[in-house]
A and B are shown apart, each in its own frame.
Chain A
């Protein structure tokens, strides 16, 4: 159809172009179907079966029974609540904090900018397993350094990792340690704002706080949006740090039984693929809905300059 719509010579060239284009992108096309599309459909299909790697009692379709099980499963609700609770607190802090950090890193007059940037970024590069064990020691009730410092200042010393209440702030602190990458994307976005904008604001008599709220924030809102979407998805799927620290038990007292830890336990520890797939699909629908909602709201608060797409 492309051939008939254009002169012969160009159509030869465009056929040549299209052929090579498809050849070059073919690895991704194959990978997309093999490792993304089919597994995704596979998850949906498995959720309607009794597929289980442990007892091969014959694969059969069981209709919606996995979904009935999911909606009647009290652990699902508590796991979802734990996940949402953590997300509601960690998402805004996990965005505002790197924005402020980036503002500090780009502030006029700061000395040793490059060094600070490198050091703030550093924890992001630390393997999750090492990071979790470092913090496990650092937050230890008796021998940990945080409580040592708190004691030194005469402050109360919580039992960070072993009480259902304090485990959440602990996990939040651990995740804020790895905020370097978000900070760096925001720094680069702030640096791309032209000085004219700031000069114009200064002429109008705007102070630094006003300038930051009315110039900087709107102009970096696309990168904020990008970070909001990615960290929301990351938080909904959060479970590895608790898994490293506590195993699959969800200790203390089930307070770290995040949704995905329950999913991991179901499909990996119990090898119940069908119910695991149901839980996975449930989470996928939730994440998709929230992502679409965020994209829907983006036109009200994400500011795209005219020359950008």
Chain B
């Protein structure tokens, strides 16, 4: 298609470029509309989190955070309304209410004095001005009525995720190294078993595991959320193995011949060459552990002061489920760190997904 049309005469080239431009711009427009729909819930969250109480209960209020505008005239505070006049809709303060006509003051021209407006003031809409109610975030931060405030939940999430990351890095690096660099009987079968565990549903494991952790007294501690990660998992091992395979064997064989032990080779050759994939595994696991809800829920339901953000936010929101602003403020606090990490380090996430998608 390309060669044929490019070599033809210039008018065709122009129209082809025109067509290409039109296709490109309509695709982009379509994608733009779609992505706007995708991001609207975020906008809803931000906007709602900044609304005050009066606005939330007023069905005529705008979508953005706002408050009813007022105007102080002769030391009295008056509510402003959007008044339809011959000069278009004017924002005037209602000073004297009447049945068939009311008196308004125009804040942009108070010298003009009271203006009589014929019509029923009750049919008018209030005039709104943008106002951010930051106190929702103060409530979300302090979490009144909960055993743990947000900083405490944040600390818990950080500790659980961070320790889990260390565990999964140490163990998955070792296991991936074992699978990518050493031949041993049963290697193929063991690797297939490892991959097969990806499709094992968690529910078939949870009851005996839970009962076991109850028996040994680990329920109500962070241990069930941390210790299993010190034993590698299929996703990370697969990702790391894929990457280790791309490192030329000659390099670590040379190190081995120079007398380096396998462990030394791993630490001094393989690990330094694999920094990007190690960052990817770190970020994936951190975000996974940060967002995990089910396991912290069952293991920490009786110890709220140890809960991570996911479970803490859920408990708080369930308690305040009649206050949308507070709910959206905590939701925003809850998603801020993972989203920030993703936006800053997105190339590692994307390369990680691409690498794990290979060879499937």
Interface residues of A (CB under 8 A from B): 2, 14, 17-18, 20-25, 27-32, 34-36, 38-40, 42-43, 46, 51, 53, 101, 104-105, 107-112, 116-123, 125-131, 133-138, 140, 142-145, 148, 177, 181, 184-185, 188-189, 199, 202, 222-223, 225-226, 229-230, 233, 236-237, 240, 244, 247, 260, 263, 267-268, 273, 276-277, 280-281, 283-284, 287, 291, 308-309
List residues of chain B with CB within 8 A of the CB of A145.
40-41, 44, 63
Contact B360 A223 (CB under 8 A): yes
- Please indicate which of the listed interface residues B44, B56, B197, B293 has the most CB atoms of chain A within 10 Å of its own CB: B44
Say which residue of A21, A35, A36, A233 sits within 8 Å of B183 (CB atoms): A21
List residues of chain B with CB within 8 A of the CB of A104.
27, 30-31, 34
Would you give the shortest CB distance from A289 to chain B, in whole angstroms?
A: 13
Number of interface residues of B (CB under 8 A): 97
Give Cα distance in the complex from A299 to B28, angstroms. 37
Contact B313 A129 (CB under 8 A): yes
14 contacts between A and B (CB under 8 A): A24-B179, A27-B171, A42-B211, A109-B24, A122-B38, A126-B339, A127-B290, A130-B331, A184-B354, A223-B357, A233-B199, A247-B318, A273-B207, A309-B359
Contact B228 A134 (CB under 8 A): no
- Decide: A281 near B35, CB < 8 A? Known: A111-B24, A111-B28, A127-B291: no
List residues of chain B with CB within 8 A of the CB of A263.
203
Q: Which residue of B lies closest to A119 (CB)?
A: B35
15 more A-B residue pairs beyond the given contacts A28-B175, A38-B208, with a C-beta to C-beta distance below 8 A: A18-B184, A24-B178, A31-B230, A34-B228, A43-B204, A109-B23, A125-B287, A125-B335, A137-B327, A145-B41, A188-B358, A230-B199, A267-B206, A267-B210, A273-B207
Give Cα distance in the complex from A294 to B207, angstroms. 27
Would you give the shortest CB distance from A130 to chain B, in whole angstroms?
A: 4
Say which residue of B178, B335, B346 sits within 8 Å of A127 (CB atoms): B335
Q: Which of B103-111, B119-127, B186-194 contacts A (4 or more CB under 8 A)?
A: B186-194
Contact A127 B334 (CB under 8 A): yes
Give Cα distance in the complex from A53 to B212, angstroms. 11
